[in-house]
Amino acid sequence: MSAHVLAVGEALVDEVRRPDGSSAEHPGGSIANVALTLGRLGREVRLATWLGADARGDLVRGWLAESAVGLVEGSDGAERTSVAVATLDDGGSASYDFDLTWQVPAEALQDAGAGDALAVHTGSIAAMLEPGATQVRQVLEAARGTSTTTYDPNARPAIMGPADEVRPRVEALVQLSDVVKVSDEDLAWLYPDTDPVAVARDWQRGTPALVVVTFGGKGAVAVSDAGEVEAVAPSVEVVDTVGAGDSFMGALIDGLWEHDLLGSARRDALNAVDVATVRRLLDRCVAVAAITVSRAGANPPRREEVGL
């Protein structure tokens, strides 16, 4: 098998309800959105997920196939395809309710330990909802010997439970990860009244080589051994924010691949990443996310749209 990114986590259907009362269904899911972004940016990517053999599952499978995202064998074992209801406010921000089940296909653990995946990415619901959450941790543990491990908590309080219970589980996954991307909103929930960049510094003193905090339309801050780097997001007219953080994450993995910083053999180089490289990575990420928020649904750009 050729070098690729293995994404492990939820793919589902987003039912988007708008302030004017209209609604529409779009394929989505945090980890699926990351995989889709990578596929659209021209990277080989495989998704280990949990879909049903139903019409919504067919919708998701077709959407992924159009962006060259391969599915890990066994990803169609669910009784039904999961649904997330995203309710948008007047500013385009989304709140979520979920009807889903999640477990990791057995083949994903084999893939993670096989050594072909340059990076293994996970996060969000998949890393917290049992029985899949325990399996996700096993995947990350198996992957660290051969792959770069990346993680985005992408908190969903409506389904994950109280922050006090979620926090130690997030921190355990951070310590299994080489790269972490987290939003300021997630950190405000996990660590109330705490500077989000201060949390990133604390996390980065552990295992991660790079911790990136996103601040929505304001941009992002990255923390590494080389120091802190800030990127300002391009000014765009926001349609909605669905999938914006996921496209940022996909662009981050793409940029790390571009700079030959993926794979366990490159871990020392990743730990020694310089400020100039981190700045280029962040500029790529905010550009991709800006395009995503400028159109409806989780619809990240293709490589030619970003000018990469």
178 falls in which pLDDT band (50, 70, 90)? very high
* Residue 254, domain member (yes or no): yes
Please state the length of the chain.
308
Residue-level pLDDT at 291: 86
Whole-prediction pTM:
0.93
CATH of residue 44: 3.40.1190.20
Contact 125, 148 (CB under 8 A): no
Structure tokens at 79: 């009784």
The pLDDT value recorded for residue 37 is 97
CA distance 178 to 253: 11
Token pair 């700045």: residue: 279
**Across the chain, what does the average pLDDT equal?**
92
Token output for 58: 């067919």
Q: Which two tokens stand for residue 137?
A: 């941790």
Is the residue at 308 inside a domain?
Answer: no
Question: Quick check: is 26 in a domain?
Answer: yes
Evaluate if residue 186 carries a pLDDT over 70. yes
Number of domains observed in the structure of the chain: 1
Predicted confidence (pLDDT) per residue in 232-277, tens digit: 988 888 877 777 899 999 999 999 999 999 999 999 999 999 999 9
Token output for 306: 């970003």
pLDDT of residue 114: 62
Give domain status of residue 124, yes or no.
yes
At residue 93 the predicted structure's pLDDT band, cuts being 50, 70 and 90, is confident
Domain that holds residue 230: 4-303
Q: 75 and 47 in contact (C-beta within 8 Å)?
A: yes
- Taking the CA atoms of 142, 149, 136 and 107 in sequence, report the sign of the dihedral they define: negative
Question: Can you tell me the distance from the alpha carbon of 244 to that of 149, in angstroms, rounded to the nearest whole number?
Answer: 21
Q: What percentage of the chain exceeds 90 in pLDDT? A: 73
Mean pLDDT within 84-101:
81
DSSP per-residue string spanning the chain: ---EEEEES--EEEEEE-TTS-EEEEEE-HHHHHHHHHHHTT--EEEE---BSSHHHHHHHHHHHHTTEEEPTTTT-BSS--EEEEEE-TTS-EEEEEE------HHHHHHHHHS-EEEEEEEGGGGTSTTHHHHHHHHHHHHTTTSEEEEE----HHHH--HHHHHHHHHHHHTT-SEEEEEHHHHHHHSTTS-HHHHHHHHHTSS-SEEEEE-GGG-EEEEETTEEEEEPPPP---S--TTHHHHHHHHHHHHHHHTT--SGGGHHHHHT--HHHHHHHHHHHHHHHHHHHTSSSS-PPPHHHHT-
Say if 207 falls within a structural domain.
yes
Q: What is the residue whose two structure tokens read 């400020």?
A: 275
Q: Is pLDDT at 110 greater than 80 in this prediction? A: no
Res 90: pLDDT: 83
Q: pLDDT tier at 201 (50, 70, 90 boundaries)?
A: very high
Q: Which residue has better confidence, 110 or 268? A: 268
Confidence label for 112 from pLDDT (cuts 50, 70 and 90) = low
182-186 average pLDDT score: 97
What proportion of the chain, given as a percentage, has pLDDT over 70? 97
Distance CA 97, CA 89 (A): 14
What is the predicted pLDDT for the residue at 1? 62
Residue 100 inside a domain? The answer is: yes
The mean pLDDT value for 88-104 works out to: 83
Confirm whether 280 is domain-assigned.
yes
